[in-house]
Structure 1
């Protein structure tokens, strides 16, 4: 008992150090990033055997490193794993994940944490930041580690995957989900993780991390049934349901409008399509600037930007671009099967606080980037399919909702490792928006 308490106190000091160093070193990190760092070869698969020969989740290589902040090592131990996974187009790729080892010896409780690093640069992945990477776009990884303090102090292992894959396929939901599931497969198979045989897992993520969490929970029964049997539940907040509607929602937003060109780049890259013929001269300029942009460089940088300004006049309606319509509809969660595990789903409703209008016809209120009515409809659909859902709405914006969502989601997920049945408020969730696909113009 004394030893365990001492370890927890030590961990609190370590995590406090991480937060302090992040704040003190942030200006230096921005300056250091002006000179591109040499990519760490660990994250690249260079074996002679084709990746397609390996099963999804197969461990390709591992290493144990200290959790590092800008090259400053901390006492937290991390097992990094390169593993085989599948991208948006069904191709075999090498993914990477970081397992923050449990603090109290072997554990049977694992958290698959979905990072919201939201970037078009592979070097912004959380595994790079954990290994001491200097990119400012990856700094969110350190803040996210502190968000998971409760799990670490209770002896859980954290599995934090670079969910966007090796080419940073921003917003490619199915790829996020497969990478998340394969990262858990790899973590359960690898040695040196501190994860006990037969361990169970919970999923959690906010915003971009919710993309990973929801798609992983939805895909698990068919893509990774062995993992699905181990899942106790999935907690998410700030949920992307129907991207075609979200693009309309953020159109002209003071803060979030820059996500539109980010999504154009991400969709083009992940699906292997070319949307540049539809872009205006200005749109092409923004498209070129976005190729490695993290969301931290985009938010508020394009106030009032609209779809119409990015495209040629003939394509002012996105529904007039057939390849865009067919592609974006593949990312509509409302057209996909339901998960089979309990869900905690939280969503903000005061997007006006972040410069996004809540009066767009057919969309209604949201948190500035995610749409509350779409999230309600998704939750109700899951309820109708027998999923136990606890749905919460908060009168806050996307960034501020985290303060209320996180403690509730953390407590709910910890309880799912016990024997008590998951609570549900399915009968009181108000109707939302139709989750219809985008219709061609």
Structure 2
């Protein structure tokens, strides 16, 4: 993890590059979403169309909660859908740099990987000046978002998990992304967009790739009117069942209790899944689930390392739990690329590490084969020398270049594969203007270690101190 000294130096390096459009916002207390009236949907939500802007406000945003980010920012509360199609609301934060390209925007899906029911993990909360940084993953990925702002793009970053923090519920997250794009489009005149059909490219890694991949697959049928030019995603959890088996009992098993909480949220599969979990969970399991309901991703990793949700210590069905029809159905619904009518029509840039220790490489390779078999255009890039965290850093320049190419309409059609042996970054890979971003990513790469060695060691060492 980056330490506080690194965070300050990185933010200080990036800050002067972001064109300011100052806004006088005054002083406003940063409330948790559960306490902030802005997040409460109006009673008219049921009669509104998906993507309708229900409320809007200007906000002051920041690097890591305490260094002001001098870019105009808006938050939009918009209508989207629960898994069963009923109306729910979500918030997206829209960043507008001075001199922005006004006919397009980037939809940025940060990996907030949190199921806290009070909203403390939501990007919209963590982005605000003065907000305690409850979700360090979103905070660090904010540096990647800056690269798009520096390059002149308006950026929308939605709370795609919705009001119940439905972490892992891919279909809900995908529609949450698509409806946030509709909302930005509907609010376009205020944001300075000069067209009613702006071009859009989406980006997301890891948990953010759940939202990206499902938005890509659902868009042709759910939101065909959108002017989508491409999708860039990496470390994609395309098969939650396979991922569960892969990380259960490892240093990263802490993702699993929060995924159970997310999938069993009211707007996801709570009607059937929550009663099932309540009937089989042990006292220890209930304690872990309660912790996941109140904390964000990194805290959950440190809470549950090398433990197993398939153990009788966690629930009474033991290793048969994944065969339980209620849970199996919920997990099966998250299988990306399963149906031909859930295939992206815009080009996709897909990248993954063969040695990814959190999301199995087979998640990406199988998805590539499925989508290509259904006629999608996918450029699949394999990183032979990265881990999960390091590959987000190593793969970002390629994803960034894809975003520019997708907007330009120069991405080749059809499917292609390539393998990269890179384990270092060229500081000027994205041009001199973005060199500070690449230097910051180099620092993150060094902190993570080769194939995430330092991250794995840190989690293992912490686990030893609590067992």
Shift of 1:171: 0.9
Please say if residues 123 and 157 of structure 2, whose CA atoms lie closer than 8 Å, have aligned partners that are also in contact.
Answer: yes
Is 1:291 the counterpart of 2:293? The answer is: yes
Residue 194 of structure 2 corresponds to: 196
From 375, 383, 401, the equivalent of 2:364 is: 375
Q: 1:318 aligns with which of 313, 318, 321?
A: 321
101-110 vs 235-244, which moves further: 101-110
Are residues 84 and 42 of structure 1, via their aligned partners in 2, closer, same or farther at CA, if it must alter by over 3 Å?
Answer: same
Report the counterpart of residue 353 of structure 2 in structure 1: 348
Is the CA contact (8 Å cut-off) linking 1:380 and 1:426 kept in structure 2?
no
Q: Which residue of 1 aligns with 2:390?
A: 400
Matched, 1:110 2:99: no
**Number of residue pairs matched by the alignment:** 385
Shift of residue 310, structure 1, vs aligned partner: 4.5
| Among 290, 303, 306, the residue aligned to 2:305 | 303
Given the superposition, is the C-alpha separation of residues 181 and 203 from structure 1 closer, same or farther in structure 2, using an over 3 Å criterion?
same
CA contact (8 A) 2:113 2:297 kept: yes
Look up the match of 1:130: 127
The 2-side partners of 1:133 and 1:323 are apart by 42
Change (3 A) 1:60 1:313: closer
Which of residues 388, 391, 395 in structure 1 aligns to 2:377?
388
Q: Secondary structure at the match of 2:94?
A: strand
Deviation, structure 1 residue 111: 0.4
The 8 Å contact of residues 126 and 134 in structure 2, kept in 1 or not, is answered as no
CA distance in structure 1 between the partners assigned to 2:372 and 2:38 by the alignment? 43
- Preserved CA contact (<8 Å) 2:120 2:296: no
SS at match of 1:123: coil
In structure 2, what is the equivalent of residue 268 of structure 1? 264
Gaps of 5+ in 1: 1-9, 19-32, 351-366, 430-441
Which of the residues 156, 177, 181 maps onto 2:178? 181
* 1: CA distance, partners of 2:386 / 2:115: 27
Tell me which of 240, 249, 253 is aligned to 1:252: 249
Structure 1 residues 200, 301: CA separation in 2 closer, same or farther (over 3 Å shift)?
same
Task: Find the aligned partners of 1:310 and 1:408 in 2 and give their Cα distance.
Answer: 44
Residue 416 of structure 1 corresponds to 406
Match of 1:242 in 2: 239
The equivalent residue for 2:59 is 65
CA contact (8 A) 1:344 1:390 kept: yes
- Aligned counterpart, 2:215: 216
| Contact preservation (8 Å) 2:18, 2:146 | no
Q: TM-score of the superposition, structure 2-length normalised? A: 0.77
Q: How does 1:149-188 map to 2 (within 5 A)?
A: 149-188=146-185
Question: Is the contact between residue 18 and residue 71 of structure 2 (CA under 8 Å) also seen in structure 1?
Answer: no
Q: CA deviation at 1:152?
A: 1.3
Per-residue CA deviation, residues 143-202 of structure 1 (Å, 9 max, x unaligned), is 323212332122111010011111111111111111111111010111421222132000
For the residues of structure 2 that align with 1:54 and 1:183, how far apart are their CA atoms? 14
Q: What is the CA-CA distance between 1:72 and the residue it aligns to?
A: 5.5
Distance (whole Å) between structure 2 residues aligned to residue 112 and residue 37 of structure 1: 22
Relative to structure 1, is the Cα distance of residues 237 and 326 closer, same or farther in structure 2, using a 3 angstrom cutoff?
Answer: same
Matched-pair contact (CA < 8 Å) for 2:83–2:171: yes
Please provide the CA RMSD for this pair: 2.7
1:233 to partner: Cα distance: 0.6
Pairwise CA distance, 1:279: 1.6
Shift in Å, 1:399 = 0.9
Q: 1:251 to 1:52 in 2, by over 3 A?
A: same
CA-to-partner distance for each residue in 1:348-391, whole Å, 9 max, x for gaps? 122xxxxxxxxxxxxxxxx1221111210111121122211111
TM-score by length of 1: 0.81
